[in-house]
């Protein structure tokens, strides 16, 4: 589309045309717009001249739309509606489209609550969800592809231009197949799990697997488990455990969003076995009332 072609059209021409169509004549439109009737008539005539067609049949009183006028009316109404949206943005109401990134279990838990709260407090703010693994979410935030990110503190985001607010802490849990001897234990320790094949959080080949909470918990305890598989999908972790591929260790919230039939969750007794979840945003970005509203919600 050549945008230069629209420079010839004035908004007041369109306003006057729509008013005449809605109010049933030039006189009624002039009263509704607080303009003189000659000015309204002139606006419509200028619009007709630019389009090269008659929009109103003036041979009857009051004037009626021609077939061309009827065809144009919904488009003219849409132009004014969209201009109204622009006007609303300067009227003090918070509005905008905010892109929120979240890892799957956090999205399942928090996103519906956030959407409902926004409808009550900021109905003109639209929240767009993008799910993904923590590392990818951090990179997308740093590059400006996301406005807010819900993800753990670890692995670290490789950017100085981000800030975060801690939201919650949740324990890590061991995931055993139902027939595993340790599945009947009231709790287990990392040393017991380290002696077993381990299925952990993360993705193979990311290059930062040691930064995940599970890996750091074992490292801080001086343990080096054998990791047979890594996944960021809670249901995949459960499936691997169910099929005897190993013992899983993951955050407890992830297991509330998965079908855990055939597996048993057992608390880990060692200290500092937890996931710390925060909301992240760019501290060096342009201030946005819409982003601030979502952050507060």
pLDDT reading at 184 higher than 60: yes
> Is there a contact between 229 and 202 (Cβ–Cβ < 8 Å)?
no
* Domain pair 3-89 / 96-168+277-296, same fold: no
Weakest-pLDDT range from 31-45, 57-71, 85-99, 158-172: 85-99
Nearest Cα to Cα of residue 258 among 42, 104, 53: 104
Number of CB atoms found within 10 A of residue 8's CB: 10
Phi, psi of 105 (to 5 degrees): -70, -35
pLDDT 10s digits, 48-89: 999 999 999 998 888 899 999 999 999 999 999 888 877 666
Mean pLDDT estimate for the chain: 91
Query: What is the CATH code of the structural domain delimited by 171-274?
Result: 3.40.190.10
Residue spans per domain, the chain: 3-89, 96-168+277-296, 171-274
pLDDT of residue 205: 55
Assigned CATH topology for domain 96-168+277-296: D-Maltodextrin-Binding Protein; domain 2 (3.40.190)
Give the tens place of pLDDT for each residue, 81-132.
Answer: 888 877 666 666 788 899 999 998 899 989 999 999 999 999 989 999 999 9
Cis ω on the peptide bond leading into residue 62 (within 30° of 0)?
yes
Give one DSSP letter per residue of 15-31, joined into a string: HHHHHHHHHTSHHHHHH
Nearest to 234 by CA among 214, 249, 245: 249
Mean pLDDT of 6-10: 79
Q: Does the 3-89 domain belong in CATH 1.20.1050.10?
A: no
Contacts of 24 (CB under 8 A, 6+ apart): 62
pLDDT per residue as tens digits for the range 239-268? 999 999 999 999 999 999 899 999 999 999
């Amino acid at each position: 589309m050549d945008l230069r072609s629209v420079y010839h059209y004035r908004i007041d021409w369109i306003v006057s045309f729509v008013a005449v169509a809605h109010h049933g004549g030039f006189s009624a439109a002039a009263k509704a717009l607080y303009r003189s009737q000659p000015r309204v008539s002139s606006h419509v005539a200028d619009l007709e001249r630019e389009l090269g067609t008659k929009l109103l049949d003036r041979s009857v009183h009051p004037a009626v739309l021609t077939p061309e006028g009827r065809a144009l009316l919904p488009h003219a109404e849409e132009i004014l509606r969209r201009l109204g949206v622009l006007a609303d943005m300067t009227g003090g109401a918070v509005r905008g489209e905010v892109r929120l990134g979240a890892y799957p279990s956090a999205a399942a838990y928090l996103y519906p609550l956030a959407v409902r709260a926004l409808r009550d407090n900021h109905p003109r703010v639209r929240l767009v969800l993008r799910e993904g693994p923590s590392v990818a979410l951090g990179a997308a935030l740093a590059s400006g592809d996301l406005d807010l990110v819900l993800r753990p503190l670890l692995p670290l985001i490789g950017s100085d231009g981000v800030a975060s607010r801690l939201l919650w802490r949740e324990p890590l849990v061991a995931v055993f197949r139902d027939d595993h001897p340790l599945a009947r234990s009231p709790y287990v320790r990392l040393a017991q799990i380290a002696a077993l094949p381990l299925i952990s959080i993360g993705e193979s080949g990311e290059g930062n697997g040691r930064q995940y909470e599970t890996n750091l918990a074992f490292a801080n305890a001086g343990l080096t488990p054998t990791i047979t598989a890594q996944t960021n999908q809670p249901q995949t972790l459960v499936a691997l455990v169910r099929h005897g591929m190993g013992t899983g260790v993951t955050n407890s919230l992830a297991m509330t969003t998965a079908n855990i039939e055939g597996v048993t969750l057992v608390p880990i007794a060692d200290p500092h076995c937890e996931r710390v979840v925060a909301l992240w945003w760019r501290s060096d970005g342009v201030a946005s009332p819409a982003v601030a509203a979502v952050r507060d919600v």
